[in-house]
Amino acid sequence: MKVDKRKYFYNVPNLLQKRRSLRNGATNTEKILWEKLKHSQLGVKFRRQFSIQGYILDFYCPSMKIAIELDGEIHVNKKDYDAYRDKYLSGFGITTLRFKNDEIKNNISVVLQKIVFSLKPPPA
């Protein structure tokens, strides 16, 4: 019998309430970006507050294995933690894009360009 190992890594059940709480209490910058990502507006599906083991990602595109994290004031003192987290996720083949809240508020078009660029396959 083949065991689907994904269920042990992706959207683990013990984080369900936390993910719901984060979705329902989205920050203004999360709402701004979600308006641009939802309904596959960039050509791929993104999910909000998706978990990989113990980490909850702000946004995640499963088909491209791209995580998007929005960094507010709290992340100023969490650079080592964020670097460790990004490296851990890279072990799953996930690329993490990080944007400061100010970038979302002031330059959403530039942010979207960076996201679209990351969705393109590398040149052969």
Interval 23-61: pLDDT, tens: 888 999 999 999 999 999 999 999 999 999 889 999 999
* Alpha helix segments (H runs only) across the chain: 16-24, 28-37, 79-90, 101-106, 108-119
Query: Furthest-apart CA pair in the chain: how many Å?
Result: 52
Amino acid 63: pLDDT: 94
Among the listed residues 71, 70, 25, 28, the one whose alpha carbon sits nearest the alpha carbon of residue 46: 70
Amino acid 16: pLDDT: 79
Distance CA 108, CA 101 (A): 10
Domain residue extents for the chain: 5-118
Over pLDDT 70: what percentage of the chain? 88
CATH class of 5-118: alpha beta
Among the listed residues 13, 96, 102, 17, the one whose alpha carbon sits nearest the alpha carbon of residue 57: 96
The answer, yes or no, to whether residue 74 has pLDDT greater than 70, is no
Amino acid 120: pLDDT: 85
Predicted structure pTM score: 0.85
Mean pLDDT, the chain, rounded, equals: 87
